[in-house]
């Protein structure tokens, strides 16, 4: 079963614009992770934020986590055509070692 729900399902922007994707989840978590997937191939780990953290940065990525609302957002600044991919949030539930993924957001960045 899916834990997270990403919003929007699809996002189309121009190069240089910022892209924001949101993720909501249902149960308590240990951490929340974001992954990127190009053309239905393997997943690439982008960033991990722990349940006691509120914001984290990595290069052009900014992730926020609001455990009271059970939601997270991923911001990609100054997007590039190479950022075109599907983005998934995944939660690591307390006491478990498995990730539960959402359905993903498809991001299209046009030159």
Partner 1 sequence: DAGVTQSPTHLIKTRGQQVTLRCSPISGHKSVSWYQQVLGQGPQFIFQYYEKEERGRGNFPDRFSARQFPNYSSELNVNALLLGDSALYLCASSLAWDSVNYGYTFGSGTRLTVV
* Binding residues vs partner 1 (CB under 8 A): 1-2, 4, 30-31, 33, 35, 40-46, 48, 50, 88, 90, 92, 96-104
Residue nearer to partner 1 on the CB measure, 45 or 54: 45
Q: What end-to-end distance do the CA atoms of the chain give, in Å?
A: 36
Backbone angles phi, psi at 82, to 5 degrees: -70, -10
CB–CB of 73/55 below 8 Å? Answer: no
CB of 69 to partner 1, least distance (A): 21
Q: Which two tokens stand for residue 60?
A: 């052009």
CB–CB of 62/9 below 8 Å? Answer: no
CB of 6 to partner 1, least distance (A): 8
CB of 75 to partner 1, least distance (A): 18
Residue nearer to partner 1 on the CB measure, 1 or 68: 1
């Amino acid at each position: 079963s899916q834990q997270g729900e990403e919003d929007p399902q699809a996002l189309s922007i121009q190069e240089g614009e910022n892209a924001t994707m949101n993720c909501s989840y249902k149960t308590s978590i240990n951490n929340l992770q974001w992954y990127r997937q190009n053309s239905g191939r393997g997943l690439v780990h982008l960033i991990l934020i722990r349940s006691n953290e509120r914001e984290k940065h990595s290069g052009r990525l900014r992730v926020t986590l609001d455990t009271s609302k059970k939601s997270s957002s991923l911001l990609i600044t100054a997007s590039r055509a190479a950022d075109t991919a599907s983005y998934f949030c995944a939660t690591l539930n307390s006491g478990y070692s498995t990730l539960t993924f959402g359905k993903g957001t498809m991001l299209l960045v046009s030159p």
